[in-house]
Amino acid sequence: MSTEAETNLEDMDLLRFTTAGSVDDGKSTLIGRLLYDSKNIFEDQLAAVELSSKKRGDEHVNLALVTDGLRAEREQGITIDVAYRYFATPKRKFIIADTPGHIQYTRNMVTGASTANLAIVLIDARNGVIEQTCRHAFIANLLRIQHVVVAINKMDLVDWSEERFNEIKKAFTDFASRLGQIVDVTFIPMSALNGDNVVDKSRNMDWYDGPTLLYHLENVYIGADYNHVDARFPVQWVIRPHSDEFHDFRGYAGRVAGGVFKPGDEVMVRSSGFTSKIKAIHTADGEIEEAFAPLSCSILLEDEIDISRGDLICKPNNPPEKGQEIEAMICWFSERALQLRGKYILRHTTNEVKAMVEDLRYKVNINNLHKIEDDKSFTLNEIGRVKLRTSAPLFYDSYRRNRQTGSFILIDEQTNETMGAGMIV
Amino acid sequence: MRYKVNHLKQLESEAIFVLRETAAQFEKPVLLFSGGKDSIVMAWLAYKAFHPAKLPFPLLHVDTGHNFPETIVYRDQFVERIKADLHVGLVQDSIDQGRVVEETGPNASRNALQTVTLLDSLESGGYDAALGGGRRDEEKARAKERFFSHRNSFGEWDPKNQRPELWNLFNGRKQHGEHFRVFPLSNWTEMDIWQYIKAEEIDLPNLYFAHERDVIFRNGTYLAVTDFITLQDGESPEKKRIRFRTIGDATCTGAVESDAANLDQIIAEVAAAKETERGTRADDKRSETAMEDRKKQGYF
Ligand SMILES: Nc1nc2c(ncn2[C@@H]2O[C@H](COP(=O)(O)OP(=O)(O)O)[C@@H](O)[C@H]2O)c(=O)[nH]1
């Protein structure tokens, strides 16, 4: 971390990634190694880990213990959940959504993946591509993570074999081709335990000339991850100062969800359909000349039109879809099963409507990608395709085009629990 | 790379989004202001989120009475600068009303008592959401914390009953009597906070910068000698050049030896730091699970 002070902050950006692997593939060791070799572990943390390692009778300092929160819980059988971890290098700040890999934790993987730019899928080189690997790849693809790293770990236990690496690479590629459009896949052979190809280049695998994991994380291009084409601005809040100085100020506050907005642009407001022009784009740092995702700002319009939370500002020549019948992939988060024709609250951007699930088209067996069409039960950790009807029109894009305007959650009207999450097809 | 946004701007945008969601989704939010750097940054972001209007919610300071005098002077100036309304909940009132019993002994601290004053203040103010400056990187127990953290009607955090948070869809719906804690700085690290303070030129209390002070060494950390500290046998104050990495109750917030007298020096020091900042908080050392315990009781 010592070089961080000299970092040029203007150039430092943010990468969010998830880690997935089945139990004992070495996920905790890998994260520990990444933090340790990139000098992101504090001495008091390390001392605590050394102490626990000793208590457990481990031979070496067990880096897996750095992220041990989840393991302890697993052993005690309490909530397993997404844990977020942070580290930085002079190039990037990283947010890791660390999710446990059991079958019953699909919900957590989906949650972690929803905000990630990149997914690390861990494979034990001895076991190769197994059911869980397929599941992780499926979820990464479903949630439209643009970059996947297949970390082929424990290479030390297969004699650092290039042949084994290529076998696994081929098996994964074959599987991934069935998923459709997985975007950018990078395969890295490593040994998390010994540190090969995590931060430092391995001396045991001369045949590999690709990047180390950290190098890849630092350099993978994520500039294209946001949609800068379709202008979308969900209104969160209306800023009305009621002060003498800002008497007529009326700013529509929100965070750009897509496209680029500039003063002078002609805009349309959904739901009303009224059009106007952007007078100014306001931030507390002054007016700005353009706003794009993911910036927060407030938009001022030339005309006084009625706009409130839940409305969407867009451009008249490129509006979102409008509809009350929505087809979506959903993942279920609750032990209480989906009620077909039951009512839920659907939250989409800053808007809420009532929704009824009219049909469960099919469920997906995420281990083999088979569609199950004759079973209408749908419960915790299941993924499937549904048809929804909403009480008022939604203004949306397909999830593939835009993660913000293409996603929603379903909320139970009585308990207010978040029951499921959906991606509009 | 035309639409590149650096990490601080991304974090700022995210925090502003969360602050605006809080204002929109709750009837009566309040921002918990401790005078520490995290809550200063949070209040600053709230000021930016609603500019040029006033904050749509007040600040609440739970005052243990064991403050460094600088904290209060700073607090009042800062609140004035961002034109916010400030409410103060006094732990002394809770003691006087018999709601809590003051700890005794040399390590007595009012930190634990704060919880009662906080919950009482939230209840009497009718607040349904309390914004806190907690960061997930601070402590293991916080790594899984949500932006919108649900509390039952006793103010308790139930780790099993937290809602999944996907994309930027936050579900703040609740039953009568329940409320939420909201953490806009969830994704910030200590380094991000310092870099942001520098980038935004936010003034901080002098306590954060290196200065000479009488201290004693107790429980593995330097504690400032104040009226609230009783010296034990064998303890004698010494003058040290120190600074504080967090600011809380004066009886249990430890200082570190430091020459870092400005933000650049602090950033360099944080970058080279060998201890987490909580390493200097005596209240966290009392037990390994101290934080988790206090959280279940309604503290952050
Ligand atoms: N030989 C070898 N063992 C490893 C490697 N990575 C992890 N392990 C071991 O595999 C076991 C499981 O690792 P852990 O990180 O706890 O797995 P997790 O369940 O995926 O978090 C531990 O005994 C590790 O020491 C590796 O690269 N090589």
Per-residue pLDDT tens digits for B25-46: 999 999 999 888 999 999 999 9
Name the residue facing B171 among A79, A404, A411 (closest C-beta): A411
Min Cα–Cα distance to chain A from B291, Å:
13
Cα(A21) to centroid of ligand 1, in Å?
Answer: 11
Closest CA to B263 of B189, B203, B187: B203
Mean confidence (pLDDT) of chain A? 89
**Tally of CB atoms within 10 A around B100:** 19
DSSP state of A373: -
Report whether pLDDT(A93) > 60: yes
- Range from A93-107, A145-159, A200-214 carrying the lowest mean pLDDT: A93-107
Which string of DSSP letters, residue by residue, matches A189-228?
Answer: E-BTTTTBTTTBPPSS-TT--S--HHHHHHH---GGGS--
Buried/exposed code over B214-226 (b: 16+ C-beta within 10 A; e: otherwise): ebbebeebbbbbe
Euclidean distance between CA atoms B205 and B99, whole angstroms = 31
- Chain B touched by A76 (CB under 8 Å): no
Euclidean distance between CA atoms A342 and A376, whole angstroms = 14
Closest CA in chain A for residue B267: A5
Atom of ligand 1 nearest to the CA of A122: 20
A154 lines ligand 1 (CB under 6 A): yes
The pLDDT of residue A184: 87
- Range from A128-142, B199-213, B264-278 carrying the lowest mean pLDDT: B264-278
- Ligand 1, atom 4: nearest CA belongs to which residue? A193
Residues near B55 by beta carbon (within 8 Å), at least 6 away in sequence:
B31, B46, B47, B82, B83, B84, B85
Q: Which residue has the higher pLDDT, A398 or B106?
A: A398
Euclidean distance between CA atoms A252 and A235, whole angstroms = 6
Q: Which residues of B touch A2 (CB under 8 A)?
A: 271-272
Interface of B with A in 249-268 (CB under 8 A): 264, 267-268
* Contact predicate A141/A172, CB 8 Å: no
- The SS3 of residue A160 is coil
From residue A121, give the alpha-carbon distance in Å to each of A76, A89, A170, A186: 26, 22, 15, 10
Atom of ligand 1 nearest to the CA of A32: 15
Average pLDDT on A403-424 reads 96
The pLDDT of residue B286: 39
- Ligand 1, atom 11: nearest CA belongs to which residue? A24
Residues of chain B above pLDDT 70, percent = 87
How much helix, strand and coil, in percent to the nearest 5, is found in chain A? 25, 35, 40
B53 and A240: CB-CB below 8 Å?
Answer: yes
pTM above 0.95, yes or no: no
A28 lines ligand 1 (CB under 6 A): yes
**Tally of CB atoms within 10 A around A187:** 18
pLDDT in tens, B123-162: 899 999 999 999 998 877 778 889 999 887 777 777 666 7
- Range from A7-16, A166-175, A214-223 carrying the lowest mean pLDDT: A7-16
Residues of chain B above pLDDT 90, percent = 44
- Chain A touched by B231 (CB under 8 Å): no
pLDDT in tens, A116-154: 999 999 999 999 999 888 888 999 999 999 899 999 999
- The SS3 of residue A278 is strand
- Ligand 1, atom 1: nearest CA belongs to which residue? A154
Cα(A1) to centroid of ligand 1, in Å?
Answer: 25
The pLDDT of residue A101: 60
From residue B100, give the alpha-carbon distance in Å to each of B63, B124, B157: 14, 17, 21
- Chain B touched by A78 (CB under 8 Å): yes
Which string of DSSP letters, residue by residue, matches A14-83?
Answer: EEEEEEE--TTSSHHHHHHHHHHHTT---HHHHHHHHHHHHHHT-SS--GGGGGTHHHHHHHHT-----E
Min Cα–Cα distance to chain A from B210, Å:
18
- Range from A182-191, A232-241, A406-415 carrying the lowest mean pLDDT: A182-191
Cis check for the bond before B52: say yes or no (omega within 30 of 0): yes
Interface probe for A, chosen from B2, B160, B169 (most Cβ of A below 10 Å), is B169
* Contact predicate A250/A394, CB 8 Å: no
Report whether pLDDT(A198) > 60: yes
B272 and A10: CB-CB below 8 Å?
Answer: no
Name the residue facing B168 among A92, A260, A404 (closest C-beta): A404
**Tokens at A21, concatenated:** 């692997």
Q: Is residue B285 very low, low, confident or very high in pLDDT (cuts 50, 70, 90)?
A: very low
DSSP state of A315: B
Average pLDDT on B60-86 reads 89
A153 lines ligand 1 (CB under 6 A): yes
Q: Which residues of A touch B274 (CB under 8 A)?
A: 42-44
